[in-house]
Amino acid sequence: MLVDFGKANLIDKARQQPDKVRMVLEKVKTDGLQPTLDAVRSKLDQPLPLGYCNVGVVLESGVSGFEVGDRVVSNGSHAEVVRIPKNLCAKIPDNVDDESAAFTVLGAIALQGIRLAQPTLGECVVVTGLGLIGLVAVQLLKAQGCRVLGVDFDSNKCALAREFGAETVDLSKGENALRCAESFSRGRGVDAVIITASTKSNEPVSQAANMCRQRGRIVLVGVVGLELSRADFYEKELSFQVSCSYGPGRYDVEYEEKGNDYPVGYVRWTEQRNFEAVLDMMASGVLNMQPLISHRFRINDAVDGYKTLADKSALGILLQYPEHKADNANLVNRQVSLQSVTSYENGEAVCAFLGAGNYASRVLIPAFKEGGAKLHTLASSGGISGVHHGKKHGFVHTATDSDAVLKDNSVNTVVIATQHNLHAQQTVDALKSGKHVFVEKPLTLTLPELDSVEAAFEETGNKQHLMVGFNRRFSPLTQTVKRLLMPVKQPKAFIFTMNAGEIPADHWTQDAEVGGGRIIGEACHYIDLMRFLAGSEITGFTATQMGDAPGIGVRDDKASITLTFADGSFGTILYLANGGKAFPKERLEIFCNNAVLQLDNFKALRGFAWPGFKRQRLFSQDKGQKACAKAFIESIKQGRPSPIPVSEIFEVSRVAVQVAEQLRG
C-alpha cells in the first residue's frame, strides 16, 4: 500500500486521502497559501520506514526480562540497529530459526483476527485471501481443530493451503466459492469467515455474508471495500468486526511507548503475548513458515525486494543484514558524518539542533539557516529523520547522542526542539556546557524545573544567551502594533482569541508529564505577546476553564486567562479548542486611546479610529519565526544582549506554569 502510494502523483495522492485534502483547504483559509504549501511539501518529503518485522540480538537493554545477547523478534522499523520499547519484542525459542521468527509480527496479525472470530473445535471457517497472513491463519485455525476452506485466485497459494490441511476454492479455475462453502459446511453455512484479502472490491464482504450460517461471524483483517448490504447482514443477524493489527495494546501510548502492560487477569492476549503465542506455535512445529518464504534479498538489494511486491505470487520476502561481531564499533556508533568538516570564524553561531521533528525541520532549521547560523550537528533520537533532514539542510553531522553534542567544543549554540518534558534538563546541561541556548517553547513544565534553569543561567554570569522561541513578538505586524502603542501612555485592554482546534486527549501534548498541556505548550506565546506589547511587568492573573460536563474529556484547553500589568493594563486570553476552522485561528484586539487595533492571524492588521493608521496586510502569514531566529543569531555574532530579556523569559514561563497548575486544580 505504501509503495503504491509513493509511486502516485500528487493528484492521485490527493484522491486517496480526501480527508487530508479537506485539512489542506482549511489550512489555506486560516494560514494562507504559501505556509500551507510549505507544510504539505515538508510532509510529503519525509521518508517513511516501510517495514516493522525484525529478528536480531540484543546489543543493549535498559529493561528487565531482556539481556544482552538474547535473540528476539521486534515490531520496530527495519534497520541494522533497532530501538524498541519492551512490550514490542519477545524472546525467540531456541528451536525457532531466525528466518521463521522474522514473520512473528505478521503471524500475530493473523492470530488476532482468529481470536476475534472465536472459533471452536470442529467449526468450519473460511479464509478469503491466501497471501502470507491468510496462509498463517490457515495453519493456526487447523491447530485449533477447525475445518478450513481457503479462497484465492492464485493456484499456487491454493496448493500451499492444501498442504497445510485446508480445502480450497481456486477462483482462477472458475470454481464457485458460495457453492463450495455450502458443500463444505454440509449445507448449514460456515461458522466464520476471516478476510485477509487486499482489494478495493466489496465482493469479499458480500460473499462472506452469503457463506455464513445464521449468526455467523465475519472478521476483516485485510483491506477491502466496505459498502455493505444491510439485507446480507440483517436476515442472518451476522456480526462483522475489523481486526486491529496484533492485539490489545496497539496504538496505546501507555502500553507501546511507556511499557505499561495490561494485567494478564483482565487482558490475557496483548500484542506481546500474541508474539509469544506465535513463536510457541513455530517451536511446536504447528506453524511452518519456511514454505511461505518466496524471496531473500541482501539489504543492499532491498529496492529489488520491494519491486517484487508488484508480483502477486510473492509471499514472504526476507531482507538480510550482514552479520557483525557484537563488539563491532559501527553498530554502536551514534554519529554519522554527512559532509566534510568546515572551519568557522570567531563569533559565528555554530549550531547543534536537538530534535528533528516536524516543526524543527519545517520551520526552525530553515529559519536558523537563513538567519546566518552555521549548522553543525542534528541530533534525533530515532536517527532516520536526523539523516534525512541533516542532508537536506546541510548539517555536517547527525547523531543520536545528545550528550556527545553538548560536549563538542566546535558547537557554541544549541537549539532545543525535543518533546517538552526534555527541555528543562537539556537547557541546564547545555548552559553548563558553555553553550548559548535557544529553546522552542516551553522552557519548563514545572516550577522546580524553572528554578533549576534560572540557577544554571545565573552560574553562567550572564555570559551566555538564553532565549525561548516566543516568535509572535517578532512578527512584522506585531512590530507595527508595538510602534503604534509606544506614544500611548494610558493603560490598554488586550483580548486575544486563540481558536486552537481540538487535539485528542491522548495526544502527547495533552499529557501533563510529557507535553505539559496546551496552556504551557502554546498559550505561553500569548502571555509573552501581551507582556511585550504592554511593556510592563505582569502583576497577577486569574484563570477559568470549562466546567466539568459529560463528554468534555479535556477542559484546560478551553480556558480564559486574564493578566494584569503594573501599568494598569489588563489582557484576556481566550484559549479555545472547541471552535470551528472557518473563524480566524489567532486574533488580537487592543482597546485604548479611544480606538481599536485588530490583528488577524498575523496576516492583516486594521485600525479602527486609530490616528494615522487604517490597515496593513501581508502577502502571507508571518508569525515571526525567521525574524526571531535571526535576532538571536545576530545577538551572538555581535555580542549584544539576547533579543528577549531573560527576566521576561523567566517571568512569562513562570506565569504560564502557574496558570496551568491553577486550571488543573
CA distances from 253 to 248, 423, 515 (A): 12, 21, 13
Nearest to 649 by CA among 526, 516, 468: 468
Which of these ranges, 31-35, 418-422, 534-538, has the smallest mean pLDDT?
31-35
Strand-pairing partners, residue 336, are 398
Is the pLDDT at 586 greater than 70? The verdict is yes
Element (H, E) at 55: strand 54-57
pLDDT at res. 550: 87
Question: Quick check: is 145 in a domain?
Answer: yes
Domain boundary among 470, 498, 520: 470
Cell of 88: 514490542
Residues 476 and 620 in one domain: yes
Tell me how many domains the chain contains.
4
Question: Quick check: is 304 in a domain?
Answer: no
Taking the C-alpha atoms of residue 212 and residue 206, their distance in angstroms, rounded to an integer, is: 10
Cell of 214: 445464521
Average pLDDT, the chain: 92
Taking the C-alpha atoms of residue 194 and residue 130, their distance in angstroms, rounded to an integer, is: 11
Taking the C-alpha atoms of residue 292 and residue 294, their distance in angstroms, rounded to an integer, is: 6
Helix axis angle for 271-284 and 104-117, nearest 10°, is: 100
Cell of 323: 552479520
Is the pLDDT at 332 greater than 90? The verdict is no
Question: Quick check: is 287 in a domain?
Answer: no
Helix axis angle for 447-459 and 646-664, nearest 10°, is: 170
Phi and psi for 45 in degrees, rounded to 5?
A: -80, -20
3-state secondary structure of 331: helix
Is the pLDDT at 327 greater than 70? The verdict is no
Is the pLDDT at 407 greater than 70? The verdict is yes
| DSSP letter assigned to residue 361 | I
Which DSSP string corresponds to 510-548? G-TTTT--HIIIIIHHHHHHHHHHHTS-EEEEEEEEPPP
Residues 155 and 141 in one domain: yes
pLDDT at res. 263: 96
Residues 588 and 521 in one domain: yes
Confidence category of residue 312, pLDDT binned at 50, 70, 90 = confident
Residues 476 and 462 in one domain: no
Mean per-residue pLDDT for 365-381?
Answer: 94
Question: Count of alpha carbons within 13 Å of 380, Cβ hemisphere only?
Answer: 19
pLDDT at res. 157: 95
Strand-pairing partners, residue 152, are 170
Residues 406 and 360 in one domain: yes
Confidence category of residue 47, pLDDT binned at 50, 70, 90 = confident
Per DSSP bridges, beta strands 493-499 and 538-545 are unpaired
Is residue 235 a contact partner of residue 212, using CB atoms and an 8 Å limit? no
Is residue 123 a contact partner of residue 103, using CB atoms and an 8 Å limit? no
List pLDDT tens digits, range 531-569.
Answer: 999 999 999 999 999 998 888 889 999 999 999 999 999
Question: Quick check: is 59 in a domain?
Answer: no
**CATH number where 339 lies:** 3.40.50.720
Query: pTM for the complete prediction?
Result: 0.86
Q: Give percent above pLDDT 90 in the chain.
A: 74
Residues 371 and 355 in one domain: yes
Confidence category of residue 52, pLDDT binned at 50, 70, 90 = confident
Which of these ranges, 51-55, 92-96, 141-145, 604-608, has the smallest mean pLDDT?
51-55
Domain boundary among 447, 470, 493: 470
Nearest to 222 by CA among 245, 238, 203: 245
Is the pLDDT at 30 greater than 70? The verdict is no
Mean per-residue pLDDT for 323-337?
Answer: 75
Mean per-residue pLDDT for 290-294?
Answer: 95
Length of the chain: 665
Residues 478 and 439 in one domain: no
Question: Quick check: is 24 in a domain?
Answer: yes
> Which range of residues forms the domain containing residue 222?
105-242
Taking the C-alpha atoms of residue 112 and residue 140, their distance in angstroms, rounded to an integer, is: 11
Residues 432 and 481 in one domain: no
Query: Any alpha helices (H) in 91-220, and if so which ranges?
Result: 98-101, 104-117, 132-143, 155-163, 177-184, 203-211
Is the pLDDT at 324 greater than 80? The verdict is no
